[in-house]
Amino acid sequence: MTLKMTIPEIHAFLDEVFPQVHNRFNVTTLPEMGATVEMRISESDLRPGGTVSGPAMFALADVAFYIATLAMIGPKALTVTTSCTINFMRKPAPTDLRAEARILKLGRSLSVGDVTLYSKGLDKPVAHASVTYSIPPSK
């Protein structure tokens, strides 16, 4: 297996299909079957008590696994999340987040794996997600 997309290609693709999240996500490493993705936290992601909202963490887990999968299969925009289980483990700091996505199975119709989320610069995870994406059939 070799990667079908580079980091610049992933960034260009995200800008094209999700223009409303332009510059929110930054892919920092893209090995086979995985991805490290950072998310810039904005005011609207914060919650009282100085923490990051659950939906913001979900959004990062979701996009990080999407990126890891697209890098392996190429730019199929219709690859969609079918399920996600997220366990919130520690209150995140009000800072940018980092996601480590890992594909455990890449089949023809499903990509299955997990994502561990960290507050940037800290080494204890704030959340862990199990994710399944459905891959559209090739023509």
Q: Which is nearer to a copy of itself, 31 or 54 (CB)?
A: 54
Nearest distance, CB of residue 28 and a copy of itself, angstroms: 21
Nearest distance, CB of residue 91 and a copy of itself, angstroms: 8
Q: Which is nearer to a copy of itself, 2 or 44 (CB)?
A: 44
- Tokens linked to 100: 């480590």
Compute how many other C-beta atoms are within 10 angstroms of the C-beta atom of residue 122: 13
Nearest distance, CB of residue 55 and a copy of itself, angstroms: 4
Instruction: Return the DSSP state at 94.
Output: S
Q: Is 59:39 a contact under the CB 8 Å cutoff?
A: yes
- Cα separation, 65 vs 96, in Å, equals 18
Nearest distance, CB of residue 62 and a copy of itself, angstroms: 5
Site residues (vs a copy of itself, CB under 8 A): 17-18, 20, 43-44, 47-49, 54-56, 58-59, 62, 77-78, 80-91, 104-105, 109-110, 112-114, 116, 124-125, 128, 130, 132
Q: Is 12:27 a contact under the CB 8 Å cutoff?
A: no
